[in-house]
């Protein structure tokens, strides 16, 4: 059938018919909100590089978590900023570390909210790399052991899901073994399986004080032109024991999300990263685009590509719009 009998516009002619034939829906159930916790007391400080985002201290983060939960958002992703850093990032697995205390406070204030923790050393090391540096290079195997210690300490503090974001080889296996051996077989692993060495992390590194002091992360994070390699990374992480996998960033990697969705059956998360957020926020602040419409278009595109869940600094704004 062709024109004039076929008219595609018939199914676009009113809001209600568009609603009926809509293929992709973003729901509040898909959203994960990142939270930053730092040492100190009574802190709720705006993050300069990320309009609308804040640093909290462990004593104020509970109230924020309760607010997030009251919007119907199922989960938060927690990042920690310690007040002291060293060569190996040893505060990352301290029993009274900033993340460990924050988990406790979040669980107390909002018991039903899932707590996902970022497992990576870059916020905790003096050199800002995601692992142990030996001879100017990040050493893979010694880093894995430390990541396992970090993940285990998060589980001991009450984390529901640990999310390794360092891109070392074999770290999912190490973490899974540490969890199993210590009675945390029910703690899930959300692996940042296909994480690219992206320029879009810029605002976050400012927020997390985690920019590398020398060099860059290209020797461990993925090379942006490669998509088949992402499938190999994801397959390995699933084999090593990941329950969910992530593609990061999201917007410039929608094809990778799509390919992963065709290929794998486990839940797939996408990280709508800081640079993607700031692009929309700053354009809107400059009066160049409609913030809410652009936000929903971005989130819908990530969902349409095949993500089951979206980690996004827009989670609270989107939740308000969706419920």
| Residues known to be catalytic | 195, 248
Q: Counting beta carbons within 10 angstroms of the beta carbon of residue 5, is it exposed (0 to 12), middle (13 to 18) or buried (19 or more)?
A: exposed
What's the rounded Cα separation, in Å, for the pair 260 and 238? Answer: 12
What's the rounded Cα separation, in Å, for the pair 19 and 282? Answer: 30
> Which one, 122 or 307, has the nearer CB to ligand PBG?
122
Binding site for ligand PBG (CB under 6 A): 118, 120, 122, 130, 165, 201, 204-205, 217, 273-274
Nearest approach, Cβ of 53 to ligand PBG (angstroms)?
10
Nearest approach, Cβ of 273 to ligand PBG (angstroms)?
4
> Which one, 250 or 305, has the nearer CB to ligand PBG?
250
> Which one, 44 or 218, has the nearer CB to ligand PBG?
218
What's the rounded Cα separation, in Å, for the pair 147 and 129? Answer: 13
Residues 33 and 73: beta-carbon distance below 8 Å = yes
Phi-psi region of 215 (alpha: psi -120 to 50; beta: other; left: phi over 0): left
> Which one, 66 or 215, has the nearer CB to ligand PBG?
215
Nearest approach, Cβ of 118 to ligand PBG (angstroms)?
5
| 19-41 exposure pattern, b = at least 16 Cβ within 10 A, e = fewer | eeeeeeebebebbbbbbbbbbbe
Nearest approach, Cβ of 32 to ligand PBG (angstroms)?
12
> Which one, 34 or 62, has the nearer CB to ligand PBG?
34
Residues 274 and 214: beta-carbon distance below 8 Å = no
Phi-psi region of 48 (alpha: psi -120 to 50; beta: other; left: phi over 0): alpha
Nearest approach, Cβ of 195 to ligand PBG (angstroms)?
7
- Assigned token pair, 286: 């400059």
């Amino acid at each position: 059938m062709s024109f004039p009998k076929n008219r595609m516009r018939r199914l676009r002619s009113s809001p209600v018919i568009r609603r009926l034939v809509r293929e992709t829906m973003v729901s509040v159930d898909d959203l994960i909100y990142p939270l930053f916790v730092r040492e100190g007391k009574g802190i709720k400080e705006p993050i300069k590089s990320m309009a609308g985002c804040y640093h909290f201290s462990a004593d104020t983060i509970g109230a924020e978590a309760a607010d997030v939960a009251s919007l119907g958002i199922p989960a938060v992703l927690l990042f920690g900023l310690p007040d002291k850093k060293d060569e190996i990032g040893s505060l990352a697995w301290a029993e009274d570390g900033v993340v460990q205390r924050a988990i406790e406070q979040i669980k107390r204030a909002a018991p039903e909210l899932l707590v996902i923790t970022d497992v990576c050393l870059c916020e905790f090391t003096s050199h800002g790399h995601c692992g142990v540096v030996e001879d100017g290079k990040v050493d893979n195997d010694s880093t894995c052991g430390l990541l396992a210690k970090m993940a285990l300490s998060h589980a001991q503090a009450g984390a529901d899901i640990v999310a390794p974001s360092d891109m070392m080889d074999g770290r999912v296996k190490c973490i899974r073994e540490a969890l199993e051996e210590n009675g945390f077989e029910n703690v899930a692993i959300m692996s940042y399986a296909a994480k690219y060495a992206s320029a879009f992390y810029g605002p976050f590194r400012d927020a997390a004080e985690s920019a590398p002091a020398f060099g860059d992360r290209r020797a461990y994070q993925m090379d942006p032109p490669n998509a088949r390699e992402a499938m190999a990374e994801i397959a390995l992480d699933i084999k090593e024991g990941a329950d969910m996998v992530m593609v990061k960033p999201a917007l410039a990697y929608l094809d990778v999300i799509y390919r992963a969705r065709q290929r794998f059956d486990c839940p797939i998360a996408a990280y709508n990263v800081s640079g993607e957020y700031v692009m929309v926020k700053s354009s809107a602040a400059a009066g160049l685009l409609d913030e809410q419409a652009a936000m929903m278009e971005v989130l819908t595109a990530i969902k349409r590509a095949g993500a089951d869940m979206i980690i996004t600094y827009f989670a609270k704004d989107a939740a308000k719009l969706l419920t």
